[in-house]
């Protein structure tokens, strides 16, 4: 396990590279999903007031 984390002495290069990639992938998905959900909520509110 320690061997794996050490990455043959390149740990301080390999792990930040993977960290940046995972952070970007998750971050972009989270931001896009949140802005979709916010607009969906607004849309259902507008549709509700229209029906009245």
Partner 1 sequence: MHRFANPARFMRLSERLMPWCAAGAVVFLAAGFYLALFVAPPDYQQGEAVRIMFVHVPAAWMASFVYLLMAVASAVALIWRHPLADLAAQAAAPLGAGFTLVCLVSGSLWGQPMWGTWWVWDARLTSVLVLFFLYLGYIALVHAFDDPSRGARAGAVLALVGAVNLPIIKFSVDWWSTLHQPASVFRIGGPTIDRAMLAPLLVMAVGFMLYFASLLMLRIRTAILESRLRAARLGEAEIAAETVAGPAQ
For residues 30 and 36, the answer to whether their CB atoms sit within 8 Å is: no
Cα(36)–Cα(3) distance, rounded to whole angstroms? 42
How many CB atoms are located within 10 Å of the residue 14 CB?
Answer: 14
Smallest distance, partner 1 to C-beta of residue 39, A: 5
For residues 7 and 15, the answer to whether their CB atoms sit within 8 Å is: yes
Report the site for partner 1 in 5-44 (rule: CB under 8 A).
Answer: 7-10, 13-14, 16-18, 20-21, 24-25, 27-29, 32-33, 35-36, 39-40, 42-43
Contact residues toward partner 1 (CB under 8 A) are 4, 7-10, 13-14, 16-18, 20-21, 24-25, 27-29, 32-33, 35-36, 39-40, 42-43, 46, 50
């Amino acid at each position: 396990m320690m061997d794996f984390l050490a990455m043959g002495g390149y740990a301080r290069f390999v792990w930040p590279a993977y960290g940046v990639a995972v952070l970007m992938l998750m971050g972009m998905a989270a931001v896009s999903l949140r802005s979709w959900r916010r607009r969906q909520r607004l849309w259902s509110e507008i549709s509700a007031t229209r029906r009245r």
